[in-house]
Structure 1
Amino acid sequence: MKKILVLHTGGTIAMKENEHGAVQPNLVNPLYSTIESLSSIASVTVDDYLNIPSPHMTPSLMIHLAKRLKERVDADQLDGIVVTHGTDTLEETAYLLDLVLNWDIPVVVTGAMRSSNELGSDGPHNLIASVRVAASDEAFGKGVLVVLNDEIHTAKNVTKTHSSNIATFQSPQYGPIGIVTKRGVFFHHTLSHRESHPIVQLTKNVALLKTYAGMDHSVIDAIGSSNIDGLVIEAFGQGNVPPAIMPALQQLIEQDIPIVLVSRCFSGVVQDTYAYEGGGRTLKELGVIFTNGLNGQKARLKLMVVLEKTSDRKELQQLFLN
Structure 2
Amino acid sequence: MVSVRVLSLLGTILSAVNMQSAFAHTAGVEASTATVHKQATLPRVLVLATGGTISGKINTRSAIGYDAGAVTGQQLIAGVPGVEKLAQLQVEQVSNIASQNMNSQIWFKLAERIRKAFANNEADAIVITHGTDTMEETAFFLDNVIGDSRPVILTGAMRPSTAISADGPANMYEAVKVAADPQAHGHGVLVVLNDVIQSARGVSKMHTTELQTFHSPNLGPTGYVDPASVRFITAAKPRQILALPADHTLAQVQIVYAHADMDAQQIDDAVKDGARGIVIAGMGDGNVSDTALAGIERARKAGVIVVRSTRVGSGMTNRNVEVDDDRYGLIASMDLNPQKARILLQLLLANGKTKPEDIQLAFQTGL
TM-score by length of 2: 0.83
Q: Which residue of 2 aligns with 1:65?
A: 110
Between Structure 1 and Structure 2, the one with more helix by share is: 2
The question of whether the paired residues in 2 share the 8 Å contact of 1:109 and 1:145 is answered with yes
Match runs of 1:120-269 below 5 Å: 120-190=165-235, 192-200=237-245, 201-269=248-316
Q: Which residue of 2 aligns with 1:33?
A: 78
The question of whether the paired residues in 1 share the 8 Å contact of 2:72 and 2:93 is answered with no
The question of whether the paired residues in 2 share the 8 Å contact of 1:150 and 1:181 is answered with yes
Structure-2 separation of matches of 1:193 and 1:114: 35
Superposed displacement of residue 19, structure 1? 4.5
Structure-1 separation of matches of 2:250 and 2:224: 37
Say if 2:153 is the partner of 1:108. Answer: yes
Structure-2 separation of matches of 1:315 and 1:28: 43
Q: Percent identity?
A: 34
Superposed displacement of residue 192, structure 1? 4.7
Structure-1 separation of matches of 2:333 and 2:255: 14
Q: What is the root-mean-square deviation of aligned Cα atoms in Å?
A: 1.6
- Alignment CA distance shift 1:264-1:192 (3 Å): farther
The one-letter amino acid of 1:7's match is L
SS in 2 for 1:118: coil
- Structure 1: tracts of 5 or more residues without a match: none
Superposed displacement of residue 262, structure 1? 1.0
TM-score by length of 1: 0.94
Greater RCO, CA 8 A, separation 6+: 1
The question of whether the paired residues in 2 share the 8 Å contact of 1:35 and 1:44 is answered with no
Structure-2 separation of matches of 1:27 and 1:186: 31
Bigger mean CA deviation after superposition, 254-263 or 293-302: 254-263
- Alignment CA distance shift 1:289-1:314 (3 Å): same
Superposed displacement of residue 13, structure 1? 0.5
The question of whether the paired residues in 2 share the 8 Å contact of 1:99 and 1:197 is answered with yes
Structure 1, residues 154-204: CA drift from partner, whole Å, max 9, x if none? 000000000010100000033211000232101011365522113233331
- Alignment CA distance shift 1:266-1:191 (3 Å): farther
The one-letter amino acid of 1:183's match is A
SS in 2 for 1:117: coil
- How many positions carry a matched residue from both structures? 317
Structure-2 separation of matches of 1:74 and 1:192: 22
Q: Which residue of 2 aligns with 1:284?
A: 326
Say if 2:131 is the partner of 1:86. Answer: yes
Larger-Rg structure: 2
Structure-2 separation of matches of 1:306 and 1:253: 17
Superposed displacement of residue 60, structure 1? 2.5
- Structure 2: tracts of 5 or more residues without a match: 1-41
Structure-1 separation of matches of 2:71 and 2:136: 25
